[in-house]
């Protein structure tokens, strides 16, 4: 069974082919990482999967349903959520209110920015569950503006989880996060393995090899290798194309 299927996806800007006939699949509960050097086309690929960009060719299927031409909100409602760029965090609201409003929006209600949405029982319970999953339940009543950068990233994860995703598109979740916060974030994602399907774009190779069930390598818009982390790590072709040049990136 395939949760997310990408068939022959292509995107061109003038004479530059940014996504070149990309085909891959992600199984339910799998963490599938996509790595590659800067300029490989990773951001363009994720933008097409989330609905931000329309591909020139190819198809995107979610649980067998063709979502290629659906808008970002429609894809989110169907369970394809892009974390870390999915919404604008509201710094003047509490952590709980930020997540509660994401729950409210996913249920089809309009935002009531000046109403105490987090005081509504159903929203409150769903938001707290997402915060618990992201490891931020103890920060629920804090203003979002005073969170650390790593906690800010976890709040964005909670907001994505509040949409009850079938697939989480994790777009460089560790960008700007280091040290103990990065270790905690990786541990949090690892605790979610098997229960959430994730497509992970990440430059931190330690995190990739700690989390991924399979890894695909994107170079010049093309998938040049896919396999278990150990196979990818030892593949001479991959090391030449990416790991050997940017192993510490």
- Distance separating alpha carbons of residues 23 and 10, to the nearest angstrom: 10
Q: How do the pLDDT tens digits run along the chain, 249 residues long?
A: 899 999 999 999 999 999 999 999 999 999 999 998 888 899 899 999 999 999 999 999 999 999 999 999 899 989 999 876 445 688 889 999 999 888 887 776 544 544 555 456 778 888 999 999 999 999 999 999 999 988 998 999 999 999 889 999 998 888 888 889 999 999 999 999 999 999 999 988 899 999 999 999 999 999 999 999 999 988 887 777 665 554 433
Q: 194 in helix, strand or coil?
A: coil
Under 8 Å between Cβ of 17 and 184 = no
The tokens of 72 are what? 């970002």
| Of 179, 183, 207, the residue nearest 135 (C-alpha) | 183
The model's pLDDT over 125-182, given as tens digits with 9 standing for 90+, comes to 889 999 999 999 999 999 999 999 889 989 999 999 998 899 999 988 888 888 899 9
With a CB cutoff of 8 Å and minimum separation 6, the contacts of 213 are 30, 31, 32, 193, 228
| Of 46, 51, 47, 55, the residue nearest 21 (C-alpha) | 55
Please give the helix or strand (H or E) that residue 99 lies within, else none: helix 95-106
- Distance separating alpha carbons of residues 151 and 157, to the nearest angstrom: 10
What is the pLDDT at residue 234?
A: 87
Please give the helix or strand (H or E) that residue 236 lies within, else none: helix 236-238
Q: Which fold has domain 1-86+165-249?
A: Rossmann fold (3.40.50)
Every domain of the chain and the residues it spans: 1-86+165-249, 89-162
With a CB cutoff of 8 Å and minimum separation 6, the contacts of 113 are 90, 101
- Distance separating alpha carbons of residues 93 and 104, to the nearest angstrom: 15
């Amino acid at each position: 069974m395939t949760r997310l299927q990408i068939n022959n996806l292509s995107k061109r800007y003038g004479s530059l082919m940014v996504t070149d006939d990309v085909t891959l699949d992600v199984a339910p509960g799998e963490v599938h990482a996509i790595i590659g050097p800067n300029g490989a086309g990773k951001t363009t690929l994720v933008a097409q999967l989330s609905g931000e960009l329309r591909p020139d060719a190819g198809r995107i299927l979610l649980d067998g349903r063709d979502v290629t031409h659906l808008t970002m909100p429609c894809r989110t409602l169907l369970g394809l959520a892009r974390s870390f760029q999915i919404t604008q965090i509201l710094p003047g609201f509490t952590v709980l209110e930020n997540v509660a409003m994401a729950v409210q929006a996913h249920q089809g209600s309009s935002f009531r920015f000046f109403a105490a949405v987090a005081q509504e029982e159903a929203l409150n319970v769903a938001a707290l569950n997402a915060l618990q999953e992201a490891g931020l339940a103890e920060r629920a009543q804090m203003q979002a503006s005073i969170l650390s950068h790593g906690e800010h990233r976890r709040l964005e994860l909670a907001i994505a989880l509040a949409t009850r995703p079938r697939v989480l598109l994790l777009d460089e979740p560790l960008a700007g996060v280091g040290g103990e916060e990065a270790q905690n974030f990786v541990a949090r994602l690892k605790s979610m393995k098997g229960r959430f399907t994730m497509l992970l774009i990440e430059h931190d190779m330690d995190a990739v090899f700690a989390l991924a069930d399979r890894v695909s390598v994107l170079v010049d818009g093309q998938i040049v290798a896919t396999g278990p982390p150990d196979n990818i790590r030892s593949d001479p072709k991959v090391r030449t194309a990416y790991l050997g040049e940017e192993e510490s990136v």
